[in-house]
Amino acid sequence: LDIIIGGALWGAIYSLIAIGLNLEYGVTRILNVAHGEFLMVGAYVTWFFFTFYGVNPLVSLVISGPAVLVLGVLIQVIVFRRLVHLSASGEELEFRSLLACFGLMFIIQNVVASIGRLAKWPPGGIGTHYLYETIDLLGQRVQLNLIVAAVLSMIIGVLMYILLRSTRLGLAMRATVEDPTGAQLVGINVLKVHAVSFGLGALLSALAGSMLVMIYSLTPFSGPPYTYIALAVIILGGMGSFIGSLLGGFFIGYVYYTTLTIEPLLPMAIVYIFIIIMLIIRPKGLFGR
């Protein structure tokens, strides 16, 4: 029962991170390996406002999210827009943007670490440890913040789904995924859609980070594992598939949590073995087109 609850709660959070990564890749064709860094930045923003201004971590979701959204849009406009112009083929763009993302990863991690050093933030990592008490859930002791984070993740996920399905922006985004040239022909500003999608992906990651920092301590270098997990989720669910990310998130959440309880050293290996098997059998993912 511990596994069922734990897997579901972590699965919800992983889904949120993966939906963000999927949005970035699906629309812009940029596999953002610096995705976990946005998560970390979101966590730091939340922690900063909590520690120095006493802002409730849940309220500061409204601060950290938009802040990172702006960061994501800026990065997309400054770096990746030029890359799209430079690259002759889609594959070339994918590879070059992968390298650029690694550069970005180094920069973001070390900028935050340097600021932390200068400002004398705790070097061992930061955490808001908000709502740390445990409560009874179906006979299991579960941390309240984990439940809150999971429920909020799902709410944000549903909101994102509504945004994609029934707004003009969502329609434009889906059209761009289907056929960028066609979308441009019918008057969609593809450049703008790319920037907004990248920003929204970053925003989702940042929100997840803001919630994770209630549960765990994070350091400037805690981002990559979440990127790897999100990568596993979107490979499993299919790149560009919203439902795939959602269900894949829960699946990976269960796999990760189950392995963690049985054999604490192996979860990452198992997650990656899943990716490899998936890539060999069905590279498009379960719900990929």
Partner 1 sequence: MLKSKMANLKILPIPLILIVLAFATQFLGNYYLSILRDALMWMALAVSWHFFSGLTKYISLGSAAFFGVGLYFTAKFLPPSANPRAPYPILPLVIIVLLAGLICFAVALVIGLVTLRLKGIYFAILTFGVSMVIQYVLKWWTVKIEGSAVGSSVYPPAFDSQTQYYSILIAMLATLLLTTFLRRSKLGLALKMVGENEEAAVHVGVNTSLYKILGFAISAMCIGFVGGSYVTRVPYTNPDTAFDAKYSFLPAVMALLGGGGTVLGPIVGSITLSLIWSYLQAAFTTYFLIILGSILIVIVLFMPNGIMGIVEKLRSRLMGRKELTKAPKMPP
* Contacting residues toward partner 1, per CB under 8 A: 31, 79, 82-83, 86-87, 91, 94-100, 102-107, 109-111, 114, 117, 228, 231, 235, 263, 265-266, 268-269, 272-273, 275-276, 279-280, 283
We find the least distance from the C-beta atom of residue 259 to partner 1, in angstroms, to be 11
Q: What is the 3-state secondary structure (H, E, C) of 19-64?
A: HHHHHHHHHHCCCCCCHHHHHHHHHHHHHHHHHHHCCCCCCCHHHH
> In degrees to the nearest 10, what's the CA dihedral of 65, 69, 75, 80?
120
The nearer residue to partner 1, 50 or 274, going by C-beta atoms, is 274
Nearer to partner 1, 79 or 142 (CB): 79
Q: How far is the CB of 93 from partner 1 (least distance, A)?
A: 10
DSSP state, 137? E
Tokens of 5: 């609850």
Rounded least distance, CB 205 to partner 1, Å = 18
Give the separation between CA 74 and CA 34, rounded to whole angstroms.
Answer: 14
Q: Where are the alpha helices (DSSP H) in 167-241?
A: 168-178, 180-185, 190-215, 223-237
109 versus 145: smaller Cβ distance to partner 1: 109
Nearest approach in angstroms of CB 163 to partner 1 is 26
What is the Cα–Cα distance from 75 to 66, expressed in whole angstroms? 14
- Nearer residue to partner 1 within complex by CB, 15 or 227: 227
| Distance (Å, whole) CA 51 – CA 57 | 10
Q: How far is the CB of 79 from partner 1 (least distance, A)?
A: 6
**Which residue, 112 or 156, is less far from partner 1 as judged by CB?**
112
Using the minimum distance from each CB to partner 1, give the nearer residue, 83 or 154.
83
DSSP 71-125: HHHHHIIIIIHHHHHH-SSHHHHHHHHHHHHHHHHHHHHHHHHHHHHHTT--TT-
Least gap, CB of 150 to partner 1 (angstroms): 26
> Whose Cβ is closer to partner 1: residue 106's or residue 132's?
106
In whole angstroms, give the CA distance from residue 75 to residue 91.
21
Q: How far is the CB of 235 from partner 1 (least distance, A)?
A: 7
Residues 6+ apart with CB under 8 A from 113: 220, 221
